[in-house]
Structure 1
């Protein structure tokens, strides 16, 4: 501690922050030993500013005369700064812990990925989800692949060891003998050639494992596949999936291609067909003939058979004959004849890829619950067979629920589906809902009548809003029909919005200019546009003009020719009787007047 004398001349007063600061004389100070004071770090400029701010915030009292006052203030400021740094550090650690926990929670929600391991050859598609039962199952799968790879490596080791007894290789090391064996086997050149033809390394590894004894067979088969127009990116897929044909002779494969070409499958299509279903080439000639005859007996010709195989190659080489027979027998229960079944399969061969138990039976139970009978199911199958190929829960059930929500009764939904099966194939959010919203907002149809409109004419859902519905609505509004009145007309006759303007304009022009009918007649009977102008409207109007008869539009058009003629004759007869009655009454009145005159 610094000590000073209290003599008056030892300091001169100076103004410092409102107080007096002593002007100390260094000669009059008694300093303590430096060993008794622990050195403090020199304060930085920022610390000095903070220290001054602390002094400014005080009560402006006279500073303490203690020599370590400034050092103590800096020390306290340093402690506060350390506390702030420690608290911020703890907050960062807590934030990192929360972020880490969030990542763990999100990862737990992700679908379990396929187990991958070194040496894996099969690379599944991204949309394929395989959930392994346990780590033991994944280990067994990895072990099986590893065994195949180890077998090939062991073969190289054995061959390199046997080369030790050969005089020209006896002086070489083991690595040199192994390298020489690999080069002599042609693996390196084959790998380079296959890689040049767009094969992946896992595919190349599988092919070498399949035919390690005859590597030239891979090159020979790949060259043959190119001749039938198999593209490079599908070449490896076909070689791996149809690896059993590595042992086949090329003459046998040519025989299969020529036979299919005779039955309507063009050779230009063979590359596309084999790329989508390589198992076609693995069938024997007898199996190919039996499958072709299976479809030919349904009444298919070569053209239908060829296009069917091109559209869905699995129909020929993927399913067994037992599966094909069971599906065909199930379809015949709808009352289809053999020829109808042949036309159905040639139009939609994807039906053969659907399961009877998992796809068809649940669908038929659901349709029967909605009120669709056997004839309706047959109509659905023949008009839109794709309905039997789509998912029930994701595609069909949401649309049925939507029809129920807009007010269509459950007993009417079955008839709606049977009359217009494509309704179940339309997109709910891109097609069905927009049409319903348009009818409610732009066509004047009320919520009470929207169910009636869809139930009476479900085909209106298939019309384009921009090219059909909106154009017709604007046309009727241009005739002077109010929006609310137009909605009532649509509820009475929903087909009104499905006609082309080329059909509507001539009929309306004839109604107003020739028939001289008011617009009110058209509003009362909007079905006027559904009758033929040349075959119904004009001939009957001319009959009315010739006989001086006038009927309303409903009586004029909504009857058969016989009923119309009877109605016209009855009207003429009533008019004749009426006119005859008036003449007879006039004659009797004249005679009475004459008699009175004579008597008078």
Structure 2
């Protein structure tokens, strides 16, 4: 049995075979080779789409009775082509790499095929195929999207040639839509030049990317610790002027901006790429004149790059805003270093509103200036969301405006913390341990830093130690905290434990120590080096029993040289004696009056003449119990030691 040659096809010549094309192929299979049935085959190597071309020629030969040449793609255009077919042809015409097709494909896409340039219909025909304007617009948008993808592929290839990894190059290119469009526009404009008039779009796009030096720039920015999102955003912000990125980066490095803060400053400082070095240097010089040291500039710019977005007139206005409140240049420079955002982040309207609100607490203009110099973070707090709710809560606790002013001046941080998460839980804790509601406000005014301590790391552990280690009963712990809130700020390991061990070493029992602390909570805050000489003088010179110290723990609050020794000498000189509380807690006039009374009584006793007119010493002591109420006054006078 004969078979058809693999590299040739048999033309259907006879009318018999033209009427039944299959019979000719069947005759070939059966060996019919006579001239009556089949013409002499013309050997020809098989080309692309040979089978479909043969069938087309057979169909055309029925009308023309002659063999036609290969049809042109323009002749195959269908004015009513489907949109899917148009999109396919458009993509095949614009893609960067030709994809090989199967042998029976209508359109040639193999790069090595001789017909690759003439296989596809012209793009002009796609837009004249009877479609309306909306269809043409859609086709144009599809063409632009295809060109954009081609440009991204070219950029990816340039990145790979620049020794970038595939993942890194993909991440960067995917964030550069504006720069990709810029490359497309520049590549299209190169078509007008004579040397690129016959060049393909791919060659022109490669030329634009190479001339822009964007790949070395990406390498340089990556070396300066910028992340790929920062690099992509900077390239898009430059609008094609990539040299501005290098210039701005070098200027930032010359002003001590380091590491990742370079990228942060480049992105957050608006119009930084458009400003010259002379304008930026003028801002830095003006700040340096007003107290911001040159070596602080890097830190200030890193934390507030928005400062570089301000004009020179606005910088002068902002600096004058603070200097007009009585700040010195040193205070202003320190304030800017502590909180750089205070100068360039907030608007002047916001700053004026916050200053006016602070003045409502009774602060003068200079007082607000000192407060902001000490705690510039106040400018970062919201009046409606932070200050007003706090003021209402403090007023609910019974704190007056003067008390709030004291809290503000002593611990401004209180007006910067969150009310619900920081202050309210601590107040609730004080109420739970027995502090009266009317005493909480006085306690907070007395020691405002208390609200800045951690509840679970500082306040609760100290309370637990006072109960378990210092002998304070649960009934008295609220009183101790209310009278001595400063105890909650002491270190357990470095202060409280050491003092407790010292008092226990004197022979005082734990329960007695707890009662002493309940009577005088400040007992545990004194330095042991100050306690030892007082205790030694009490026991050795004054020859007083330990019980006197247990009954009057405030003894340690008085100055040894200014109060204890002078008054003890008076007692010795007049050969009289009295309890420690009456000896130390009374004022000088009251002490002299008491000495005169006791001296007169002693003299009458020694002379053997006693009358009922003289008061009994015990009566004198009992009548002067009110002196304990005045202890706080004398205590404040004796804390100077």
Question: Which residue of 2 is the match for residue 195 of structure 1?
Answer: 222
Counterparts in 2 of 1:241-260, with a 5 A limit? 241-260=268-287
Question: Which residue of 2 is the match for residue 508 of structure 1?
Answer: 535
CA distance in 1, matches of 2:292, 2:487: 40
Question: Which residue of 2 is the match for residue 162 of structure 1?
Answer: 189
Question: Which residue of 2 is the match for residue 495 of structure 1?
Answer: 522
CA distance in 2, matches of 1:493, 1:194: 65
Shift in Å, 1:458: 0.7
Q: Deviations over 1:433-472 (max 9, x none)?
A: 1111011011111011111111111111111111111111
Aligned pair in 2 of structure 1 residues 248, 514: CA closer, same or farther (>3 Å)? same
Shift in Å, 1:165: 3.8
SS at match of 1:390: coil
Q: Deviations over 1:46-84 (max 9, x none)?
A: xxxxxxxxxxxxxxxxxxxxxxxxxxxxxxxxxxxxxxx
Partner of residue 457 from structure 2, selected from 407, 430, 435: 430
Asked if 2 retains the 8 angstrom alpha-carbon contact of 1:210 and 1:243, the reply is no
Counterparts in 2 of 1:64-83, with a 5 A limit? none
Question: Which residue of 2 is the match for residue 559 of structure 1?
Answer: 586
CA distance in 2, matches of 1:290, 1:243: 19
Gaps of 5+ in 2: 1-148, 150-171, 612-641
Question: Which residue of 1 is the match for residue 488 of structure 2?
Answer: 461
Shift in Å, 1:416: 0.6
The yes-or-no answer on 1:288 pairing with 2:306 is no
Q: Deviations over 1:199-255 (max 9, x none)?
A: 222222222222224221111111111110110311111111114121112111111
Q: Deviations over 1:18-63 (max 9, x none)?
A: xxxxxxxxxxxxxxxxxxxxxxxxxxxxxxxxxxxxxxxxxxxxxx
Question: How much is the aligned-residue C-alpha RMSD, in angstroms?
Answer: 2.0
Partner of residue 317 from structure 1, selected from 341, 344, 355: 344
CA distance in 1, matches of 2:215, 2:173: 21
Question: Which residue of 2 is the match for residue 394 of structure 1?
Answer: 421
Partner of residue 535 from structure 1, selected from 536, 539, 562: 562
What's the TM-score once normalised by structure 1's chain length?
Answer: 0.71
CA distance in 1, matches of 2:180, 2:550: 88
**Length, aligned pairs only:** 441
The yes-or-no answer on 1:270 pairing with 2:317 is no
Question: Which residue of 1 is the match for residue 432 of structure 2?
Answer: 405
Asked if 2 retains the 8 angstrom alpha-carbon contact of 1:273 and 1:310, the reply is yes
Counterparts in 2 of 1:520-531, with a 5 A limit? 520-531=547-558
Question: Which residue of 1 is the match for residue 446 of structure 2?
Answer: 419
Asked if 2 retains the 8 angstrom alpha-carbon contact of 1:359 and 1:391, the reply is yes
Question: Which residue of 2 is the match for residue 546 of structure 1?
Answer: 573
Q: Deviations over 1:482-509 (max 9, x none)?
A: 1111111111111111111111111111
Asked if 2 retains the 8 angstrom alpha-carbon contact of 1:420 and 1:458, the reply is yes
Asked if 1 retains the 8 angstrom alpha-carbon contact of 2:604 and 2:610, the reply is no
Aligned pair in 2 of structure 1 residues 423, 308: CA closer, same or farther (>3 Å)? same
Counterparts in 2 of 1:298-309, with a 5 A limit? 298-309=325-336
Aligned pair in 2 of structure 1 residues 146, 221: CA closer, same or farther (>3 Å)? closer
Question: Which residue of 2 is the match for residue 66 of structure 1?
Answer: none
Runs of 4+ in 1 over 4 A off after TM superposition: 145-151, 578-581
The yes-or-no answer on 1:379 pairing with 2:406 is yes
Counterparts in 2 of 1:62-211, with a 5 A limit? 149-211=176-238
State which drifts further: 355-364 or 332-341: 332-341
Gaps of 5+ in 1: 1-118, 120-144, 585-600
The yes-or-no answer on 1:221 pairing with 2:248 is yes
Shift in Å, 1:357: 0.3
The yes-or-no answer on 1:447 pairing with 2:469 is no
